[in-house]
Each structure stands twice: as structure tokens, then as C-alpha cells.
Amino acid sequence: MTKRALQRNVNPKSKAKSSTRARKPQRAGLVANPLLGRWSTPFGVPPFDKIMPGHFAPAFKDAMAAHKKEITQITGQAARPTFTNTITALEKSGRLLERVSRVFFNLTDADTNDELQRIEREVVPHLAAHETNILLNARLFRRVEDLYQRRNHLRLSDEQARILELHHTWFVRAGANLNKKAKARIAAINERLALLATQFAQNVLKDEQSWRLVLDGERDLVGLPPILRATAARAATEIGLKDKHVITLSRSNIEPFLQFSDRRDLREDAFNAWTMRGETGDATDNRAIVTGIVRLRAELSGLLGFESYADYALDETMAKTPAAVRELLEAVWPVAVKRAAQEREALARRARAEGGNFKIAAWDWRYFAEKERKALYELDDAVTRPYFKLDNVIAAAFDTATRLFAIRFKERHDVPRYHPDVRTWEVTDRRGSYVGLFLGDYFARPSKRSGAWMSSFRSQSKVAGNIRPIIVNVLNFAQSTEGEPVLLSIDDARTLFHEFGHALHGLLSNVTYPSISGTSVARDFVELPSQLYEHWLMVPEVLQRFAVHYETGKAMPQKLLAKIKKARNFNQGFATVEYAASALVDMELHGTAGNEDLDVNDFERTTLKRIGMPREIVMRHRIPHFLHIVGGYGAGYYSYLWSEVMDADAFAAFEDTGDVFDRATARKLKKHIYAAGNTRDPLEAYVAFRGRQPEVKGLLKKRGLLS
């Protein structure tokens, strides 16, 4: 998953709690603001050790004023619009605001505190208003419109033609063609939406931070493997509970607990807390916020001439229409439900065999699925984890990039960090030339929101010099006890490869204009580079070198590797149903809802009943905590599945050569996908790489849903 800083739209992030980084009483006005000055740090990294929360509000104020002045200079020109004096000038404008925004929103995602959250609630509406004012600036739009109408006579390069077309689209989609009354209403809606999205995300975080399950003694720990016990003991120690164990709502905590705990009553408690985030009935309840967001989005899309927000959101994606998305989801849904029913019966038999006189419930599924997996494939998480040491998986991801794209990674210890956990690598090409900087932030902590994502402190561009990217991967792996290595599950390792695929999309970017750099592509295309990269984790050459036992140093036995591959599609009915249900509800929410009487729980319940949601499975993200759709993925959660249609087909391009590191294929992949940003239509980019369009049949086969 990617996270973008302020570019074409303000996309408020979800946040976390206080960190160990110094948050001293603010005296920012007595010293120069480090956010506004020149950064003399290695690689131009933000001077994190000098930045305090109190610096942000004045920095945002100054940066917005500077950006406004730059826009006034563009619109105040007497000269007729040219590509250089309008589009290039636009691309060069707002760099200071972007710099401040990237630092701020990356911190509020990965290392926040109460003060940063307060500042965020205050500044986000102002940022939304600032951007709306630019996009609804009549004089500025007239210049863009003039160029757009003359575009066929301007002798533009392909990239220039693309960026002109996109700028025109962004202005029109923002409402630049509307009357003053409609523009004023759109401005008000954008400000309100920005604040509601921020409140929503902060509420989810507060719910995650406030809940804990205290385990007292062996009776509560029964079934939990040593690594989870150690993690739970560490969590208890951190909050001052001696000789206890604590399960938190971090996904790296909660999912293993549901998978291994023999205590059905505790699994039920934990599962309900996890699925009820944002729905507690108190100050952090998000249901009214969702109603407000959906209503405002419906009004916004109506003002812009669209039938629904789904129609509006999909208009600039590969899918184009809600009908196309539903066609994909409806092709997958019945196959997945059928497979999930077969899986449910197998789990029920397993439960009865162990004396379970009950129907399988949602909090039972992961528990009995783990038992079934172990019985069918003789595959145990405790056996596989020792072969996936975090440092080795990182090295495997780097080595794969070296073999595919001829880039190298050198760890640096002289670069400022926003948290002690962060690691930094300098990235160079085969000639030793600097490519960019990669930051890895791998461990869960209270100051970080849950999940995994890629973001950037600086994106690549050439319009104002050769600007090299600073990319960060943020994950939430459980810390090990002191002196012990961090061991990952297979799913954890796959997540690391996934996010590193996003990172490569940012690092390898080779475009001129920052607005189309790296991951600034269509939402249903952005997951292709990340999901494709996951495939290399299971390549034999990679596993033989890097999947070595952390104690013995011996490579993973071929028998174990064969079991892992054989079990690759185990429980895929469940996984596909919980994901696809979320995507279908997202599409319905933004396609049909929007009136004042929306009851979130009733809507979710009715929609799931209509599509035939299995009783034993819950949506992967229920509406009150569905951060994707409140943030940048509204009516777009389907995009992971859309991209998966392509990634299955794209990896086959390598397999067809007989060499999954085939150089010629890798060069085409880099040129047309990883380095190209948004320089061309995404389907054209894919066809340029693959030679044809992908087919959904490859997706079903990959997931094991089609024989």
C-alpha cells in the first residue's frame, strides 16, 4: 500500500501516539525554523533531530503563502500561456509546501503524538482550502484551458502532452468549469471532508491504543507459541505489568493470537475488539463520521456531473466505471464463496474431531485453519519462522532488486532518523551513481498506526534539477526480546516484499515532472509493482540463498520448501471472501448511498446479506474502521484485485523465458512499469511491457480458485 504526501490532493493519514523522540516544550519561535531553511544533512534528509511539533504550524503558514505567491506570478503574466510559463511553472511551484507536508504526514503516520494530532486537525482544513483555491482559480484554469485547446499544435513531447492532459483533467475534476456558487460549495465540502477523514483515522488509532487483553498465567497462554509469548511479555513490560502478557490490537499481535490461542473465549473477546474498532459508541465512534463523508462525497460528485461518487472516483482509473469493477468482483465472488464453504466444512470436521460441540464462528476460523494446514501439509509456523529472519528477508529483497534492476544497497549510519528503529540505505546503480535513499521502519510501536505502507519524503523529478527520491517502507512487525533475532511468518515476509515493490516504484522513477513521479499513478495500477514483486520471494534461487535457519545457517530443506509451495493456496476461499466483501461494500457505499438517513450498520448488514456473505467470515475491513476508503481509496479498494489480474500475468512473462531474472524482460519491466510513473495511460504501459492485455483467468488460477 502506498501513502502520498500533498500533491494533487490533500490525503490526510491515520495516526498514532507519543513516541520516544524528544517532544520538549516548544520554543520554536526563538530559533530558525528547520523546516523552512536549507537542509545540509546527508542526502538532504529532513533534520529530524531539530524539528519540533511547534515548527509545523508556522511552516505550513509560510509555505502556503509562498505557494500562493507563485500561483499569482503565473496568473499575473501578460504573456500568452506557454507550456513553460504555465505547466512547467505549476510543476515547480509549491515545493516548500510539499516538503513540509511530506515530513508532517509521514510523522503523523509513523511517529506521532497528541500535539501532532492536534496540529493535524487544525491544519488539514487549511490545506484543503489552499489546494481547492488553486484548482478553482479561474485565471489559472484559463491558461491551462488555452494550452489544452492548442495542444496538438504545441509540438510537445509525449511526457509534456501527458502532463498537460492530466493538469487539465485535475482542474476539471475539481470543478473549474462550474459557477461561483457551485465552486464555493465544493470548497466547503473539501474542507469538511479533510477534517472528517482526519477525525476518522485518529479515532481508529485511539481505539487500537486503548484496548489490551491481559493474559494472566499459563491458563491464558495455552496454545501460544514461544515467539508470541515473548512479544506479549514485552508488551506487558512496556506498560508496567510484571509477570503478565498483553495482546494488543496491532495486526502482528491480534492475528497470531486468533491463530494459536486454545482459549475460545479469549479469541472471541479479541476478535470482537478488533472488528469493533470505530464502533464503540463513545467519543471515538466513527459511524456518524462515515455518514457525513458519504453524504458529502455524493453531493460533490453530483455537483461535478457524476451519477455517484463511485462514478467520479473511477473516471480516471483503469476500470473507468463501477460496472467494470462489479464485473471483476462478481467473477471472483461466487468461486471464492464456494471454496470458502468447502473450507468451512473441513474446519467444522476438525473442530468436531477435537470435541468442539459448536458451529464454526468468525473467531474460530484462523484457529482451526492453522490446525487444518498443519494436518494437511505438516506445515507449522514454528518450523518455518526460523528460516525467515528479518535481516535475511531484507537482504533477499535487495538482492532480487540487484539481479533485476542492477541497483545496490549500502546501509548508512550517518543519516538523521525520525525514530531509533529506522534504518537507512543508500541506493546506487551499476556505475555507482546515486539513485536514491531507502528508509526501513519495520517494528510496531504505540506512535505508529497499524498496517504496512510505502511513502516518500521526496519524490524523483528533473524539472528543477536532478531530484533524487527518499523513500520509506513502514511495517508493524513484532519486536523480538533483547538479543534475539526477529523471525517473520511467511505472510510477514511477503508483506515486506510487497512494500519493497512499492519502494522500487518510487526509487526507480525516471520522469521529468513531480506530479507524475513514481507511485503517482492510477489507483488500480499502483499495486501492480508491489504485488508483482511478491512473486520473487518464493523463487527457489532466492530461498536457497536467504531462507536459512537463523541458528544453524542451513538452507531450508527441499521438503519444507515443497510443503510451503503446496500450501500456498490453502485457505484462499476465506482470504478472497474477506477481501472481496470489503471491496463490494465499498463500491455499494459509494455507488448507491449518500442520503442523510444512512445507517452504517444496517447498510453493511443488508449489503452482505444480499451478496451472500458466509456467516463465519467477517469483512477484512468493516466500515467504521475502513481507513482505505476514507483516505485515498474511496470506491477503490477493488484495486488490489484489479492489479492482481496483471501481476499474475506479468510474472508469467518471466516464467515463459525459463529465467525469472531474465535481463531483457527485466529491462522492459523497469522501462514501462517501475520507471515510467504516470507518463502514459496505465493500460498502454502494461501492454507495452507484456505485449497484450491481461486476463482474469490468471488471477483465479494464482489464487487456486481455478483448476
User: Which has the closest alpha carbon to 228: 213, 241, 242, 240?
Assistant: 213
Cell numbers 468442539: residue: 356
For residue 541, the model assigns a pLDDT of: 92
Which pLDDT value is given to residue 30? 45
Q: Which of 499, 534, 588, 604 is catalytic?
A: 499
In the predicted model, is pLDDT for residue 41 greater than 70? yes
Task: For 275-320, write each residue's pLDDT tens digit.
Answer: 999 999 999 999 999 999 999 999 999 999 999 999 999 999 999 9
The C-alpha R_g of the chain, in whole angstroms, comes to 25
Q: DSSP state, 278?
A: T
Q: What percent of the chain has pLDDT over 70?
A: 95
Length of the chain counted residue by residue? 707
Q: How confident is the model at residue 345 (pLDDT cuts 50, 70, 90)?
A: very high
Distance of alpha carbon 227 from its chain centroid, rounded?
27
Q: How far is CA 129 from CA 92, 107, 191, in A?
A: 20, 22, 6
Q: What's the confidence (pLDDT) of residue 155?
A: 97
How many helices, marked H, and strands, marked E, lie in the chain? 28, 7
| Structure confidence at residue 694 (pLDDT) | 85
| Domains annotated on the chain, with CATH | 30-206 (1.10.1370.40), 211-275 (no CATH), 307-379+568-628 (no CATH), 385-519 (3.40.390.10)
**Dihedral pair phi/psi, residue 222, rounded to 5°:** -55, 130
**Helices marked H in 418-509 — which ranges?**
490-507
Q: What whole-number distance in Å separates Cα of residue 256 and Cα of residue 238?
A: 20
- Asked if pLDDT for residue 22 goes beyond 70, the answer is no
Q: What is the mean pLDDT of the chain?
A: 92
Task: Tell me if 88 sits within 8 A of 463, measured CB to CB.
Answer: yes
Distance of alpha carbon 422 from alpha carbon 575, whole angstroms: 31
pLDDT at 631: 83
The predicted model gives 69-83 an average pLDDT of 97
458 backbone dihedrals φ, ψ, rounded to 5°: -160, 135
CA distances from 660 to 27, 206, 392 (A): 56, 44, 20
What is the reported pLDDT for 446? 85
Q: How confident is the model at residue 595, as a pLDDT?
A: 62
Q: Note the pLDDT tens digit of each residue in 649-673.
A: 999 999 999 999 999 999 999 999 9
Q: What is the per-residue DSSP string for 44-90?
A: G---TTT--GGGHHHHHHHHHHHHHHHHHHHHT--SPP-IIIIIIHH
Q: Using CA atoms, how far apart are residues 531 and 322, in angstroms rounded to an integer?
A: 23
Q: In this structure, what C-alpha cell is assigned to residue 705? A: 480458485
Residue pair 317/522 in contact (Cβ under 8 Å)? The answer is yes
- pLDDT in the model for residue 80: 96
Confidence of residue 16 (pLDDT cuts 50, 70, 90): very low
Element of type H or E holding 390 = helix 390-405
What sign has the CA pseudo-torsion 298, 301, 307, 309? Answer: negative
Q: Which among 26, 243, 3 is positioned nearest to 115, based on CA atoms?
A: 26
The contacts found for 591-596 with CB under 8 angstroms, 24 or more apart, are: 591/308, 591/309, 591/310, 591/311, 591/322, 591/635, 592/308, 593/294, 593/298, 594/294, 594/295, 594/297, 594/298, 594/299, 594/308, 594/309, 595/295, 595/298, 596/291, 596/295
pLDDT above 90 covers a percentage of the chain that reads 86
Query: Is there a contact between 474 and 441 (Cβ–Cβ < 8 Å)?
Result: yes
Q: What is the pTM of this model?
A: 0.93
pLDDT: is 378 or 459 the higher one?
Answer: 459
**Is residue 49 over pLDDT 80?**
yes
Q: Is 499 a known active-site residue?
A: yes
The secondary structure of the chain in percent helix, strand, coil, rounded to multiples of 5, reads 55, 5, 35
pLDDT of residue 23: 39
Question: Using one digit for the tens of pLDDT, what is the confidence trace for 208-233?
Answer: 999 999 999 999 999 999 989 999 99
pLDDT bin (cut points 50, 70, 90) of residue 1 is low
Query: How sure is the predictor about 698, in pLDDT bands with cuts at 50, 70 and 90?
Result: confident
pLDDT value at residue 702: 77
Grid coordinates standing for 528? 501492480
577 in Cβ contact with 613 (< 8 Å): yes
Statement: residue 10 has pLDDT above 70: no
Residue 78 grid coordinates: 501578460
Q: Can you give the pLDDT at residue 28? A: 44
Cα–Cα–Cα angle for 184, 186, 188, nearest 5°? 70
- The model's confidence at residue 380, banded by pLDDT at 50, 70 and 90, is confident
Distance CA 68, CA 96 (A): 11
Q: Supply the pLDDT for residue 51.
A: 97
Task: Average the pLDDT over 539-545 and give the result.
Answer: 93
- DSSP string of 205-234, one letter each residue: HHHHHH--EEE-SHHHHTT--HHHHHHHHH
CA separation for the pair 410, 424 (Å, rounded): 8
Cell digits for 402? 540487484
pLDDT digits (tens, 9 = 90+) for 77-136: 999 999 999 999 999 999 999 999 999 999 999 999 999 999 999 999 999 999 999 999
Q: Is 616 helix (H, G, I), strand (E, B) or coil?
A: coil
pLDDT, average across residues 527-539: 96
Is the pLDDT reported for residue 174 higher than 90? yes
pLDDT interval class at 2 (50, 70, 90): low
Q: For residue 426, is pLDDT > 80?
A: yes
